Structures are given as structure tokens and as C-alpha cells.
Amino acid sequence: MIVALVVVAAVVVLVVVGAVAWREHRHFVDAEESRRRDDELHRRHGDEVAESEARLRLSLDAITQGVVMADAEGNVLYLNSYARQFTEARHGEALVEAAVAELLAEAAQGGVAEREVELFGPPRRCLFVSAMPLKLEGRNYGSVALIDDITEPQRLDAMRRDFVANISHELRTPMGALSLLAETLATETDPEVASRLAMRVQAEAIRLSDIMDDLLELSRIESDEASERAPVAIQHVISDALSRARPTAEEKDVPIETALPALDLMVQADRRQLTSAVFNLLENAVKYSEATCPVRVMTRLEGDWVEVEVRDQGYGIPLRHQERIFERFYQVDQSRERTDGGVGLGLAIVRHVATNHGGEIRVESTEGEGSTFTLAVPIGAQS
Ligand code: ADP
């Protein structure tokens, strides 16, 4: 009996101890499980933070604007790759780094600060640096500076202003002449003088209309970059351009000779544009030659390119001007060109046509001996 009681008691004790141990074990397992889950969550959270930070850094490195972030004390914490070029600074670029530091310090005081920094290069560059505080719901997160390269927008703006100024100037001269001539004509009683004045009125009116034609042609060609291309026989282009240039050539007694191959040379092109380019080259060759000095136009195939060459034995172009003659309104000798009626748009038109066709325009010239202009265009896909 006693033995049975002892056995029962032992079993009870074992069960109780077992249950307690089991509960302890469960607690331990649960705690372990929850720690593991917390660790996992932390790890995942950490991965996500690292991932979005990498994404942010890569995005900031991809933009063509400098970004520099600083803490509330103005200490630089981050630079994107565009901004880094100014910290590995040589020469002038150090100016940008200095401007960034100063503007960040100003922004740390709570205001927006900005400045243009000019680097004299070469190449000359102009940068716009601005800085502002980073604040959210009253909390100060430091400041950020942005660096923009404004060289190109500034260049375009200057070009636009020059263009408008040049047009106004070019138009004002014949307009002024017209008004003066009309005034004199109104009171002129001598029919012979009146007729001379009327002829000058006509000449100025033609000059005005030539300027307008050149302007319209240039603007049309500039906006016509992707115009329809069709197979064009270069011989046709030359003969169209010749019939436009011949009247002036005959008037000036400048003979035009041609050397065209027997076979048609075909190019994928805009016929009107090509004709305009060749006409401008011919017109210049005639305009800048003395009477009886011949102008020669020839075409040839060079690999996959068709070349049109216009050669004259005229005044020639000094070497220092040869780079610039393709700019709008550029003229080598303003006094001579004015009497010849040019405005400096012809070669700008030619260059534009060449670029529109994936081609190029070259010049070789010797002062006093003459010039050779070569317009080269790829033949393009033949159909
Ligand atoms: P323009 O209307 O003055 O002829 P262009 O753009 O056609 O303008 O030419 C620019 C300048 O280049 C001319 O003013 C002239 O000084 C020079 N030029 C162009 N073609 C010739 C040439 N064949 N011979 C000499 N000078 C030329």
C-alpha cells in the first residue's frame, strides 16, 4: 500500500515537474522564434533601406545637374557624380567648389542663395549654383546645393539676340534708303533725275526682297530637317541651279562652265534643298569674281558620296575667315558685300542643307586666286 502511494506520488511529482519543464521549454522556444522573426524583419528592413538608398544614389548620379547635400552645420555629406567633377578640381573648377561651400553656408542660415560662376576654360563654361535649406515640418535637415551648366542656353540666347539685331540692321538700311529716295522723288521735277531715283528705289526694293527670300529659305530649311527624301538626279539639281544663277552671271560677264558625268548620279535627297545649296554656291562664285573669270561646276562620285564642286578664280577668302563664313550673317568684307547685295545667309543655307542630308561642305581658298567649295552628300539608300 505504502509502495503504491509512493509510486503515485512519484508519478504526480514527475508529471508536475515535466509540465513545468515543458512550459519553460515552450517559453524558451517562443522567445527564440520571436527573436528570429525580429532579426529577419530588421534584416529585411535594412535591405530595403540599403536598396532604396542605392536606387536614390544611382538616380542622382544619372542626372546632368550637380547635387551637393550638407548637414545643418554645412558639412558636405553627399555629392552626386556630376558635382564630383568640381571637387577633383583643377584650375577654374575650384571656383565652383568654393561657391558651393559659400552658398551652402548661406542656405544653412535659412535663406535661398544663388550665383553664376564663369569658368574661362577652355572651353568657356558658365555654371549656375543655387542652394536652399532642407526643412520639413519645422525640422532642419541641412541644405542642398544644385549646379547647372547654362553655357548652351546662354549661347542660344545670345545667338537669338544677335539674329534679331542683325535682321533689324539689315532691313533698316534698305528701308532707310527707300524712305529717303521716296522723299526726294516726291519733289523732283527733272524727269531724268526722277527716273534715276526710281531705278534706285527698285534696286533697294529688290535688295529687301532678296533678304526676305534668304531669311525665309533659311528658316524653311532649318525646320525642314526631316523632309521627304526621294531619288534625285544630281544633273537636274545642277541645271536648275544654273538657270537661276545664269542671269546674274551673264549680267556680270562671268562664264559658267560645267563638267558633268555622262551617267546620272542619283542621291536620296530633297531636290529643292540641294538646288538651293548649289545655287548659293554658284551665286557666290559669280558675285565674288571679276568679269570674264570663269566659274566651273563639276560633279563626281567618291565611294558612297556624290560631290558637287564649284570653283572660281575670284577674290578668294583669307584663311582666318574660312571657319566663320558658314555662320549666319558673317561677311568677310562688309563694305564690298553690301554693294554686292549679300547679307551673309547664303553659306548658312548651304551648311544647313549639307547637315540635313548627313553630308558636309568644305572650302579651299587662296586670297587673290579663287575658291573651291565642295558639297558632299551620301548617295543614301537607292531604290
Ligand atoms: P553673302 O550674302 O554675303 O554672300 P554668304 O553666306 O553666301 O553671304 O557668304 C559669306 C561670306 O563668305 C561672303 O560675304 C563672302 O565674304 C565670303 N564668300 C562666300 N563665297 C565666296 C567666294 N566664292 N569667293 C569669295 N568670298 C566668298
pLDDT digit string (tens) for the chain, length 383 residues: 565 665 556 655 665 666 666 777 777 777 788 888 888 888 887 888 889 989 988 999 999 999 999 998 888 999 999 998 887 656 667 888 889 999 998 898 888 999 999 988 778 889 999 999 998 888 888 999 999 999 999 988 888 888 888 888 888 888 999 999 999 999 999 999 999 999 999 988 988 888 888 888 888 888 876 677 899 999 999 999 999 999 999 999 999 999 888 788 999 999 999 999 999 999 999 999 999 999 999 999 999 999 999 999 999 999 999 999 999 888 887 665 545 667 889 999 999 999 999 999 999 999 999 999 999 999 976 55
User: Is residue 342 lining ligand 1, measured as CB closer than 6 Å?
Assistant: yes
Please report the pLDDT score of residue 341 as a whole number. 61
Please report the pLDDT score of residue 228 as a whole number. 76
Please report the pLDDT score of residue 8 as a whole number. 58
Bridge partner residues of 129 (DSSP): 115, 147
Ligand 1 mutation pick, 252, 279, 288, max ligand atoms within 8 A of CB: 288
User: Is residue 350 lining ligand 1, measured as CB closer than 6 Å?
Assistant: no
User: Is residue 275 lining ligand 1, measured as CB closer than 6 Å?
Assistant: no
Cα-to-centroid distance, 374 and ligand 1 (Å): 14
Closest CA to 277 of 159, 378, 373: 373
User: Is residue 371 lining ligand 1, measured as CB closer than 6 Å?
Assistant: yes
Q: Which residues contact 347 (CB under 8 A, 6 or more apart)?
A: 280, 284, 325, 326, 330, 361
Cα-to-centroid distance, 343 and ligand 1 (Å): 9
CB 360 within 8 A of CB 376: yes
Q: Of all protein residues, whose CA lies closest to atom 4 belonging to ligand 1? A: 342
Q: What pTM did the predictor assign?
A: 0.65
**Helix or strand holding residue 198 (H, E):** helix 191-223
C-alpha cell at 12: 504526480
User: Is residue 349 lining ligand 1, measured as CB closer than 6 Å?
Assistant: no
Closest CA to 129 of 116, 143, 112, 144: 116
For residues 187 and 202, give the distance between their C-alpha atoms in angstroms, rounded to a whole number.
Answer: 18
Please report the pLDDT score of residue 29 as a whole number. 73
User: Is residue 317 lining ligand 1, measured as CB closer than 6 Å?
Assistant: yes
Atom of ligand 1 nearest to the CA of 314: 24
Q: Please, what is the Cα angle at 361 between 356 and 362, to 5 degrees?
A: 165
Please report the pLDDT score of residue 7 as a whole number. 57
User: Is residue 332 lining ligand 1, measured as CB closer than 6 Å?
Assistant: yes
Quick one: CA torsion of 180, 185, 187, 189, rounded to 10 degrees? 150
